[in-house]
Amino acid sequence: MKVAIIMGSDSDFPIVEKGYSILKDFGVEADVRVISAHRTPDEALSFAKNAETMGYELIIGAAGKAAHLPGILAGCTSLPVIGVPIKSSELDGMDALFSIVQMPPGVPVATVGINAAGNAALLAVQILSVKYSDLRVKFNEYKKQMAKKVFDKNKKLNDKLNGGLK
């Protein structure tokens, strides 16, 4: 299991880091690279064209502003690509969101919310779990733990409210 996380700038890493950590927690090998669709287009094309032969099974592309990176990657590979729009100061990430989500027919990019690298990693885990059953088991356990946290918070709140009425 190997995922590439490609970001347009190293300034995107604080956002991308959460997704990287989630992949590591699930035992998924993840490589992080800075490749710009605009400043290093040849490198972006070369990476996407060779990603599968390098052993990658999925690509997460994170970019802000014009955010062409995930689309460029998707246009040059048959691997699944998940786009993460990065919030910029100018348009609060809406520019990146629209750039990534509005792909032309035949070049799909799964797109998560603005700065939602964690959800991109979880979606990557779900996609990979189709092939790797051990990953599906881990993901199901993750979902159970999320539910338990909600139940625990509900109990704590209700205990506080009920205890305060006595």
pLDDT in tens, 68-107: 999 999 999 999 999 999 998 789 999 999 999 999 999 9
CA 131 to chain centre: 18
The pTM of the full predicted model, rounded to 2 decimals, is 0.92
pLDDT level of residue 166 (50, 70, 90 thresholds):
very low
pLDDT level of residue 164 (50, 70, 90 thresholds):
low
What does the domain layout of the chain look like in residue ranges? 2-128, 133-166
* Structure-block tokens of residue 43: 């490198």
45, 77 Cβ separation under 8 angstroms: no
Into which CATH architecture does domain 2-128 fall? 3-Layer(aba) Sandwich (3.40)
With CA atoms as reference, report the closest residue to 122 among 141, 94, 99: 141
SS in 3 state form for the chain?
A: CEEEEEECCHHHHHHHHHHHHHHHHCCCEEEEEECCCCCCHHHHHHHHHHCCCCCCCEEEEEEECCCCHHHHHHHCCCCCEEEEEECCCCCCCHHHHHHHHCCCCCCCCEECCCCCHHHHHHHHHHHHCCCCHHHHHHHHHHHHHHHHHHHHHHHHHHHHHHHHHC
- Please classify residue 71 by burial: count the beta carbons closer than 10 Å to its beta carbon, then call 0-12 exposed, 13-18 middle and 19+ buried: buried
Angle between helix 117-128 and 133-165 (nearest 10): 130
The answer to whether residue 43 scores a pLDDT higher than 50 is yes
pLDDT for 92 equals: 92
pLDDT in tens, 8-41: 999 999 999 999 999 999 999 999 999 999 999 9
CA distance 52 to 65: 27
pLDDT for 88 equals: 84
What is the amino acid identity at position 144?
Answer: K
Identify the residue whose tokens are 């699944």: 80
pLDDT in tens, 125-157: 999 999 999 999 999 999 999 999 999 999 999
